[in-house]
Amino acid sequence: MPRKESELNEQLIDLLQGEKIVSLITTDKDTKKPNLSIVSWLVAHEDGKTIKFALGHKAESAFNIQENPNLILGVVGAGSCYSINGKGSVSEVIDKTMKYRVVTVEVESVEDVIFYGGKITQEPDYVKTYDEELAKKLDEEVYALLKS
């Protein structure tokens, strides 16, 4: 039976401290159909009710959230799969090494959505395929924004 909570538990807060592959589902501002993208610059705050993530300043997802703030974050980890429903608000463009927008999500519900009898035994992993120094600089810059 799926468990639905109103905020992130401690295990999810610990998991969502960046460098995770998280699905972002928004509503396309033009077609009104679901739109899927992936984010990894993401931080859950200790209150269990707030998640912040960064996008490029021209990301379609940012424009979708401005039009319709309802979104879902799909998380694989902490032994299961979770659907985090919330409302997002998009910052103005932040001009640093690159131009970003920060989305602040007010968590409305968290549901364990894995199929009956399923358990995640290994989390998705990835590598960055661009310049190592640039990746480090961008990560430091973005996480400073997300943790504030």
Q: What is the pLDDT of residue 4?
A: 86
Three-state secondary structure readout of 68-93: CCEEEEEEEECCEEEEEEEEEEECCC
Judging by DSSP bridges, how do beta strands 34-39 and 42-44 pair with one another?
Answer: unpaired
Identify which of 106, 20, 101 has the alpha carbon closest to the alpha carbon of residue 62: 101
pLDDT tens digits for range 82-117: 999 999 999 999 999 999 999 999 999 999 999 999
pLDDT tens digits for range 39-62: 999 999 999 999 999 999 999 999
Question: Structural domain of residue 84, as residue ranges?
Answer: 4-146
Q: What is the pLDDT of residue 2?
A: 54
DSSP per-residue codes, the chain: ---EESS--HHHHHH-BSS--EEEEEE-TTT-SEEEEEE--EEE-TTSSEEEEEEETT-HHHHHHHH--EEEEEEEETTEEEEEEEEEEEPPPEESSSEEEEEEEEEEEEEE-PPTT----S-------S-HHHHHHHHHHHHHHHT-
Average pLDDT, the chain: 94
> Is the whole-model pTM more than 0.75?
yes
User: Does residue 1 surpass a pLDDT of 50?
Assistant: no
Domain count, the chain: 1
Q: Please say whether the beta carbons of 94 and 138 come within 8 A.
A: no
CATH number of the domain enclosing 10:
2.30.110.10
Q: What is the pLDDT of residue 148?
A: 82
Cα 6 to the center of its chain, rounded Å: 17
For the residues 22-27, what does the mean pLDDT come to? 98
